[in-house]
Amino acid sequence: MTTHTTARPAGLERRSFLKWSAAAGGTVALAGAASHFGVLPGVGPANAATVSSLDADRTVWSSCNVNCGSRCPLRMQVKDGRIVRVLPDNTGDDELGTQQIRACVRGRSIRHRIYNPDRLKTPLRRVAGTRRGAGEWEEISWEEAFDEIASTIQRLIKDYGNESIYLNYGTGTLGGTITRSWPPIETPVARLMNCVGGYLNHYGDYSSAQIAGAVGYHYGGWIGSNSLDDAKNAQLQILFGNNTLETRMSGGGETFVSQQTKKLHNVRTIVVDPRYSDTALGLADEWVALRPGTDAALVAGIAHVMISENLHDQKFLDRYCVGFDEDHMPDGVPAGSSYRSYIMGEGPDGTEKTPDWAASVTGVPASSIVRLGREIGRARPVHITQGWGPQRHANGENQARAIFTLAALTGSVGVPGGGTGEREGAYSLPMANPFATENPVQTAISVFGWTDAIDHGPEMTALRDGVRGKDKLDVPIKMVWQYAGNALTNQHGDINRTVKLLEDDTRCELIVVIDNQMTVSARYADIVLPDVSNAEQLDIIQQGSAGNLGYTIVADKVIEPLYDCKTVYEMMTEIARRLGVEQQFTEGRTQEEWVAAVVDASRENIPDLPSFEELREMGVWKVKAPTDSGNVALADFRADPEANPLATPSGKIEIFSQQLWELARTWELPEGDRITALPEHLDTWEGAAEARANATYPLQVIGHHYKQRTHSSYGNVDWMKEAHPQVVWINPGDAAERGIANGDLVQVFNDRGRIQLPARVTARIAPGVMSVPQGAWYSPDRRGVDVGGSVNSLTSWHPSPIAKGNAQHTTLAQVQKV
Ligand SMILES: Nc1nc2c(c(=O)[nH]1)N[C@H]1C(S)=C(S)[C@@H](COP(=O)(O)OP(=O)(O)OC[C@H]3O[C@@H](n4cnc5c(=O)[nH]c(N)nc54)[C@H](O)[C@@H]3O)O[C@H]1N2
Ligand SMILES: Nc1nc2c(c(=O)[nH]1)N[C@H]1C(S)=C(S)[C@@H](COP(=O)(O)OP(=O)(O)OC[C@H]3O[C@@H](n4cnc5c(=O)[nH]c(N)nc54)[C@H](O)[C@@H]3O)O[C@H]1N2
Ligand code: SF4
Ligand SMILES: [Mo]
């Protein structure tokens, strides 16, 4: 049975809790004391500059709901209707499974996002006749905004059908339930659209498109991997491009889980990453610095050592996999098609994947590859996970599958201390969501394909563009809803090209942005609807990834809506009324009644879950996973593969996928792009090999996820910009060649764009590679130079071959001193 853990420090009764929370504020230094009292100029009610926390009128549970993979409860202190202080979780302890879920610096600065000068205050409409994006706005009433949106929806459905209306990707309120912004089907916007016939859907996401596109062929579906606390059972832990210390930053999430596991069990840890990431800094015993997009080649070199020295787990491969050697191949494929043949130079390419070969591709010394092959080959079990950096590449599907294959070579799949090579799994509560409805429209495009669908939708087909549910699209996208997302511009590839497309309002006729900040995407809207922040409304919050800890948060309304902002639920209700479907949309419930309904429905799955009223008082409710040994992915399959087959055609792990073999023959790909049945290394457009042959743009650019921001969210918070400025990481050798010193202002550029920002010259990045932390706000100056330093000024629209996903870490550029 699950354990109920809302532990409080001994001696504190529940009824004294609120008082204690307030008092704790004065003494818990972690919450950041005096500097939290500052008041932003020009926003909110006039206020005293300093307020002692003891003076606060009340402390209210809220949370940070952005898409950082974690999700932290926040205790917001209110004085005279204004949030004056933000405190972290204070329930639980410092043990794995009952830990405090302490907010990172972003969550603790949330006041500066709530009371930000960029806050949207009133509905805005682009001035008729001006260019979209020109920044000429008129303030309109809510009634005008609702009327115009409702009548345009009616016209577009009549003229083009529901498939002309698209819900763009957006994860700004991923943690919410009633306010949830992704997946599209769970959003309040989808709920509205489903009342009037539905909308064009998307599959995949910007996070993990390629791995999601690959894992079905390899494992039969998304299976995750062992949790990070399970590394305690391993002899060796390997993290491929998995930067948990920066991308799961909650002090109660995977940052805590991986650090605590390391501290208690000291398992040897290898980090494979072109950057010496914060995770390498905090956890690694060894850093393997490879060129971006070459993990499959590194794995091939390691496999060569293991096979040559008989260190691979042949028994596991025989029983659980197809495609490793010639004796375990599907029918009807030519000899020499196995992974072993590929590695030993007996396949169609005739190249032996020796450590020397792998060194020439990856940049990792051959001697290191030999040593790695031996160490990995001799360790059992090996805890292998990958983040989503390796797969956000032009060859991302193969990168992901190669790392899965290394897990199979070590025979570590399905056992404690092992893993599948996918991203770490974690325990989570099976919350229900009765608010979500079904989309009557089946047609879907890839998450990354919407710009193409605006540009030339009816030319997009299943075999060429990955259209699903239909052989081809019939209509282009005519309307875009962008709710709590910045993927309309800032987070999509090639911003300069994207904004050119959006400027033309004869193609996409209506863009509605619902946000609470004047974001880059809002600049390209026709109508901007000012949403409240999460502190201004009630919702139930879906947990983040936290090892063996499950939890849920009831985030209450802390303050009244600022300015003329409305909740998204109210906005959708008003539009539903104008479309004649209000009753169907609301089912007669208020937002609070919906939250209560979510709790009631979830109690059927989780018998111990307290009632809505109890949760509301507690703020956060925690449950430790029922097993102490961590989450082990595919344990059933490992125990009995015949009784528990995978959902692949063979029921086994498909190192050679016959489905991909077929795809490679039937799908139409741009010249140079390839799909392979084996997880081969592929040299791609703007990849590592091309970089060395390209005199104009010889440097590979990746854009790691950065602690200043969650994507673009928090990117306009003064404190965060000061603490973690936007800089481009450059290797000292590359910098010296160009006369660039640490701190110099530089421009990074290619044919698609040019950004300007300070250089961070550091040996923490591999030679030939730069990293521009993704998510900075695009701000082109008069010359068109993006002085905000957004990496998507440099990236492209070119999708990956199988998933049609965003290959935003595959980019070539040059750098020069300004
Ligand atoms: N080059 C490059 N590009 C990338 C990536 C990369 O690695 N490299 N990563 C990709 C990935 S993994 C992802 S997930 C996407 C993320 O892309 P997005 O999902 O677009 O993420 P954000 O930029 O954080 O945008 C969230 C928006 O929600 C808004 N928001 C926050 N709270 C609220 C609220 O309460 N109400 C409303 N209405 N709005 C709110 C914020 O102001 C912000 O504008 O970016 C992708 N883009
Ligand atoms: N602080 C912070 N946390 C976040 C986010 C954020 O914006 N800020 N975004 C959140 C979201 S939505 C997501 S999807 C996740 C993203 O999580 P990830 O996709 O895992 O994050 P990335 O920073 O893109 O990549 C992880 C690491 O992979 C490395 N890398 C890049 N290319 C390669 C490669 O070819 N091979 C190898 N081995 N490594 C490579 C990068 O240097 C980086 O250190 O993070 C989440 N957490
Ligand atoms: S950004 Fe993530 S880790 Fe930081 S406070 Fe918000 S949810 Fe927690
Ligand atoms: Mo993501």
d(CA 179, CA 537): 9
Residues 202 and 214 grouped into a single domain: no
Supply 338's token pair.
């196995």
759 — alpha (psi -120 to 50), left (phi > 0) or beta?
A: beta
Whether 224 and 361 map to the same domain: the answer is yes
- The residue among 624, 653, 680 that closes a domain is 624
pLDDT tens per residue, range 489-529: 999 999 999 999 999 999 999 999 999 999 999 999 999 99
Residue type, 157: I
The DSSP H or E segment spanning 769 is: strand 769-771
- Summarize the confidence of residues 318-323 as an average pLDDT: 98
- SS3 letters for 247-267? HCCCCCCHHHHHHHHHHHHCC
Please tell me the predicted confidence (pLDDT) of residue 19: 23
Indicate if 63 and 128 belong to the same structural domain.
no
Ligand approaching nearest to the C-alpha of 705: 2
Residue listed under structure tokens 């972290």 = 88
Q: What is the pLDDT of residue 630?
A: 73
Minimum-distance ligand to the CA of 708?
2
Q: Where does the pLDDT of residue 189 fall: very low under 50, low under 70, confident under 90, or very high at 90 and above? A: very high
Q: Quick one: 215 and 318 in the same domain?
A: yes
Question: The domain that contains 251 carries what CATH number?
Answer: 3.40.228.10
Give the binding-site residues of ligand 1, using a 6 Å CB cut-off: 67, 169-173, 206-207, 392, 483-487, 490-491, 514-517, 519, 531, 533-534, 703, 705, 710-713, 774-775, 791-792, 795, 808
Least confident range of 72-81, 623-632, 637-646? 623-632
Cα 684 to averaged position of ligand 2 atoms, centre (Å): 20
566 with 592, same domain?
A: yes
pLDDT for res 53: 53
Residues 145, 28 within the same domain: no
Same domain flag for 656 and 762: no
Which residue is it, tokens 């005279």?
80
Share of the chain above pLDDT 90, in %: 93
Q: What is the mean pLDDT of the chain?
A: 93
Give domain status of residue 633, yes or no: no
Token reading at 487: 């993927």
**Does any domain span residue 314?**
yes
For residue 569, pLDDT beyond 70: yes
Q: Which domain does 742 fall in, by range?
A: 688-817
Which ligand places an atom closest to the C-alpha of 182? 1
The answer to whether residues 164 and 28 belong to one domain is no
* Sign of the dihedral defined by the CA atoms of residues 277, 280, 281, 286, in that order: negative
Residue 221, domain member (yes or no): yes
For 49-82, give the DSSP string.
S---GGG-SEEEEEEE-SSSS--EEEEEEEETTE
Tokens encoding 701: 């650019």
Pairing of strands 620-624, 82-88: unpaired
Residue to probe by mutation, ligand 2, list 104, 182, 243, most atoms within 8 Å of CB: 243
Give the residue whose CA is nearest to atom 3 of ligand 3. 250
Distance (Å, rounded) from C-alpha 295 to C-alpha 508?
39
Residue 58 lies in a domain: yes
Residues 296 and 397 in one domain: yes
Give me the mean pLDDT over the 728-749 stretch. 98
Contacts of 615 (CB under 8 A, 6+ apart): 540, 552, 554, 599, 609, 621
To test the pocket of ligand 1, the residue of 111, 512, 704, 712 to mutate (highest count of ligand atoms within 8 Å of its CB) is 712
Ligand 1 centroid to 176 CA: how many Å?
Answer: 14
Between residues 233 and 24, which one has the greater pLDDT? 233
Asked whether residue 810 carries a pLDDT value surpassing 50, the answer given is yes
CA distance 352 to 343: 6
Domain assignment present for residue 802? The answer is yes
The answer to whether the beta carbons of residues 546 and 56 sit under 8 Å apart is no
Tell me the whole-structure pTM to 2 decimals: 0.94
Whether 474 and 531 map to the same domain: the answer is yes
Q: pLDDT by residue (tens digit) across 681-695? A: 999 999 999 999 999
Q: Is the per-residue pLDDT at 16 higher than 80? A: no
Query: 67, 82, 114 — which closes off a domain?
Result: 114
Instruction: Taking residues 215-235, report their average pLDDT.
Output: 97
CA dist 54 and 50 (Å) reads 12
Q: Are residues 404 and 516 in the same domain?
A: no
Residue 681 lies in a domain: no
**Ligand showing the shortest atom-to-Cα distance for residue 100:** 3
Q: What's the confidence (pLDDT) of residue 664?
A: 97
Binding pocket residue ranges, ligand 2, CB within 6 Å: 67-69, 207, 240-243, 246-247, 249, 272-275, 277, 292-293, 295, 387-390, 392-393, 702, 704-707, 709-711, 775, 809
Distance 702 CA to ligand 2 centre (A): 10
Domain ends where: 624, 649, 675? Answer: 624
If asked whether residues 359 and 267 sit together in one domain, one would say yes
In a domain, 634, yes or no: no
User: Which atom of ligand 3 is nearest to 72's Cα?
Assistant: 8
Q: What is the pLDDT of residue 41?
A: 32
Query: How many whole angstroms from 503 Cα to the centroid of ligand 1?
Result: 21
Please check the confidence at residue 7 and state whether its pLDDT lies above 80: no
Instruction: Name which of 156, 564, 208 is nearest 389 in CA terms.
Output: 208
Distance 389 CA to ligand 2 centre (A): 5
Residue 751's CATH number: 2.40.40.20
Residue 599 maps to which CATH number? 3.40.50.740
Length of the chain: 818
Q: Does residue 496 belong to any structural domain of this protein? A: yes
How many structural domains is the chain composed of?
4
Which is it for strands 754-761 and 728-730: parallel, antiparallel or unpaired? Answer: parallel
Write down the pLDDT at residue 2.
Answer: 31
Locate tokens 């402390």: which residue? 59
Q: In the prediction, which pLDDT does 54 show?
A: 65
User: Residue 73: what pLDDT?
Assistant: 98
Half-sphere exposure of 55 (CA within 13 A, CB side): 12
Q: Is 555 in the pocket of ligand 3 (CB under 6 A)?
A: no
Task: Give the residue-averaged pLDDT of 728-744.
Answer: 98
Q: What pLDDT, on the 0 to 100 scale, is given for residue 55?
A: 86
Question: What does the pLDDT average to over 217-223?
Answer: 97
